[in-house]
Amino acid sequence: MANASAEVNGNYERFYAERSALKVYPTEFVVRTLLARYPNLAFEKPAKGAKVLDIAFGDGRNTAFLCDQGFDVSGIEITQGIVDQGIARMTALEHRADLRVGRNSGIPFDDASFDLIVACACCYYCDEGEEMRDNLAEYARVLKPGGRIIASVADSASFIFAGAERLPDGSYRVAHDHYGNRVGYRLHGFADRGELETYFSDFFRNFSIGSSNNDYYGIDERLFWVVCEKI
């Protein structure tokens, strides 16, 4: 499975290229976390000018939203093609964002660069020879002391894990994917909130955790949402 990362790179570059002319909208949990108040959410929205990293920005839906909030926005994606598409979209929207090629475990920014990381449906993607723990260590490296993460994290009961092989590190090798992008690739899943918090606790503290369970017309998507602070 050594070529799994290369295959997922190409799959996602084609996936986003097909959507490059479409209008995009920010992800709901990101909007709610930044703009709304909830009884179990301990999070203060960063001030304008805060440095924010959008990991795996994809079609730029959250990148544009973060720019609209007045943040100093950077982002990473897994191929230059996706980065070029993101730059074109931000230019068309008259936004400025520093977009670069990078991986979950290899972020091309200096230590303590960011006040906030937004990791929408990405922090649990694991390249061969690495674990999700490597991703979290890299996130912590580029965050400032006390910096925060807003992330969505895979529930192991979600559709993407149907028939997947569970591996000793807690990741799963995907066997079936409705979207055709991730077969053979490894994603990490969590059975419950306690397992998630324990796993993240080597690098983060002060957790606010939510969840979603959606049946999108036969796609049973289950996610945890987590907001936490760098130790």
Convert the pLDDT of each residue in 97-132 to its tens digit: 999 999 999 999 999 999 999 999 999 999 999 999
Q: 1: pLDDT confidence band, cut at 50, 70 and 90?
A: very low
Answer whether 149's CB lies under 8 Å from 140's CB: no
**What was the pLDDT predicted at 4?**
73
Query: What share of residues in the chain are helix, strand, coil (percent, to 5)?
Result: 30, 30, 40
Kindly indicate the confidence band of residue 19, based on its pLDDT and cuts at 50, 70 and 90.
confident
Is residue 146 scored above 80 in pLDDT? yes
For residue 82 the two structure tokens come to 């996706």
Query: What is the pLDDT of the chain when averaged over all its residues?
Result: 95
- Return the H-helix or E-strand segment holding 146: strand 143-154
φ/ψ (deg, to 5) at 66: -65, -40
- What the chain holds in terms of domains, given with CATH numbers, is 4-230 (3.40.50.150)
Residue 2 has pLDDT above 60, yes or no: no
C-alpha–C-alpha distance, residues 125 and 217, integer Å: 25
Strand order of the β-sheet with 72-77 is 98-101, 72-77, 51-55, 114-119, 143-154, 219-230, 204-216
Which pLDDT tens digit goes with each residue over 62-76? 999 999 999 999 999
Burial of 49 (0-12, 13-18, 19+ CB in 10 A): exposed
**pLDDT at residue 202 tops 90:** yes
